[in-house]
Amino acid sequence: MESGIPLLGAKFPKMEVTTTHGTMKLPKDMEGKWFLLFSHPADFTPVCTTEFVAFQKRFNDFKELGCELIGLSIDQVFSHIKWVEWIKDNLGEEIQFPIIADDMGQVAAKLGMVHPGKGTNTVRAVFIVDPEGILRIMFYYPQELGRNIDELLRAVKGMQTSDANGVAIPAGWPNNELIGDSVIIPPAKDVTVAKERTGTTDCFDWWFCHKKL
């Protein structure tokens, strides 16, 4: 079985998966859209439940960015269906995104989601993929730490902003301690531009300039 962690900037591996919404082909079925695929250790576990509720509460925020959500764990599809029913009946949240039933662990192996030092369940992996099927961001969290879904939403917004404007995104954007909601423009590539930027109000130095969008 092919295994390993994929690389940023590479094509997302082709796969056909069984989900709570039927069979899907990735990344083909998401062509033209951003998507965020995330794994959780197991259904009917407390931390995973809090994450699914948090993802669902931000479902429309991701939709507004043209970003689809897809969950995954090494559970059978009937377990996913029953768990989703439990969440709706007991917590009042209807999970609207598909969940991959990777009961044979093939997808988890292909994406490096199982880390032997952390047991046989999937860790909390996150893959953000762009409309061209290119893997843009990866996060890996241990089973004992739930994810900050607002940070994942910020990551999608940041990458889209970077792509659309040819800029870099500072730490904590859009609330950076130095430049607020500004973005960072590419460094000067020649001496002339470097001199033009020196001493301007939107530059700390010729290599560190920013602007409002």
Q: Which residues are catalytic?
A: 48
The stretches of the chain forming alpha helices (DSSP H) are: 46-57, 59-64, 77-91, 106-110, 149-165, 191-197
- Sheet containing 124-129: give its strands across: 22-26, 15-19, 99-101, 67-73, 34-39, 124-129, 135-141
Beta strands (DSSP E) in the chain are: 15-19, 22-26, 34-39, 67-73, 99-101, 124-129, 135-141, 183-184, 203-205, 208-211
Rg (alpha carbons) of the chain, rounded to whole number: 20
Largest CA distance in the chain: 65
Cβ pair 70, 37 in contact under 8 A: yes
Q: How many CA atoms lie within 13 A of 195 on its CB side?
A: 3
Which residues lie closer than 8 Å to 73 by C-beta, 6 or more apart? Answer: 39, 40, 41, 42, 43, 48, 80, 99, 100, 102, 121, 122
